[in-house]
Structure 1
Amino acid sequence: MKLTISDAVWLDDDGTCTAAHLAAVSGLSSDELGELIDIGLVNPVDPDVTPLAFRLSHIVTVIEARRLRDDFELDRNGMALALTLLRRIDELQVELGALRALQNPAQPAT
């Protein structure tokens, strides 16, 4: 049995990283990452500070963007659109669950 030791990072909203780090861990180019920043899917902690710092939770977003790009052979615009639509679907599902919970308070939401 082989034991592998690795480092783990808690991807919360307290820690920050640079745009270069986001690009490195995701496999996105700086142009692709810039597109996600421009449309607001990846927001810097303080846009007035250079270099830009991003919350560690954005690592999940940029990895998902790269997977969409690779799996569906999308260009930058297609990748950004797909990610935007998936985020909106998630928001609507949460909203629908909350509305269902208000209508049927005795039944647990699924």
Structure 2
Amino acid sequence: MNTQQKDSMWLDEHHQVSMDELIELSGLSIKELQNLLESGVLVPNNKEEAIWHFNSHYLVSIHTLSRLKQDFELEPNAFALTLVFLERIRTLEFELRGLAQVKN
């Protein structure tokens, strides 16, 4: 999967990406992703299976985390907390869009 495919992918709770796709598209190293897994902020849908898959919405947050890392020289110690905040912002934006649609 290339960057154009990632940009056009419909990212929601129903689509999944493999660990390999996450590594390829995230902009983070394997070690950095493993640290996010170990900290519990990145959670696979199928922990018990040999090949993990993740909700595709993680791509957006993790890609943003990668940009923050590059642009602001974000320290690896801050990755987990930053990802938590990015995911919370994404959730709140989704809820706000839903409320706006109900209102209209």
TM-score (normalizing by structure 2): 0.69
More helix by share: 2
Amino acid at match of 2:40: G
Partner of 2:28: 28
Using the TM superposition, give the Cα deviation of residue 28 of structure 1 relative to its aligned residue in structure 2, in angstroms: 0.5
Using the TM superposition, give the Cα deviation of residue 49 of structure 1 relative to its aligned residue in structure 2, in angstroms: 0.6
Percent identical residues? 30
Unmatched runs of 5 consecutive residues or more in structure 1: 1-5, 98-107
Q: Equivalences for 1:33-72 in 2 at 5 Å?
A: 33-72=33-72
Partner of 1:104: none
In 2, are the aligned partners of 1:13 and 1:56 still within 8 Å (CA)?
A: yes
Q: Higher relative contact order by CA 8 Å / sep ≥ 6: 1 or 2?
A: 2
Amino acid at match of 1:10: W
Structure number with bigger Rg: 1
Amino acid at match of 2:31: D
Using the TM superposition, give the Cα deviation of residue 69 of structure 1 relative to its aligned residue in structure 2, in angstroms: 1.0
Deviations 1:35-81 (A, max 9, x none): 11222222100101111111111111211211121122023212223
CA separation in 1, counterparts of 2:11 and 2:87? Answer: 18
CA separation in 2, counterparts of 1:37 and 1:53? Answer: 12
SS at match of 2:17: strand
CA separation in 2, counterparts of 1:64 and 1:20? Answer: 18
CA separation in 2, counterparts of 1:85 and 1:11? Answer: 18
In 1, are the aligned partners of 2:46 and 2:53 still within 8 Å (CA)?
A: yes
Question: How large is the Cα RMSD of the aligned pairs?
Answer: 2.4
In 2, are the aligned partners of 1:68 and 1:82 still within 8 Å (CA)?
A: no
Q: Which 4+ runs in 1 deviate beyond 4 A? A: 85-88
State how many pairs are aligned.
89
Unmatched runs of 5 consecutive residues or more in structure 2: 97-102
TM-score (normalizing by structure 1): 0.66
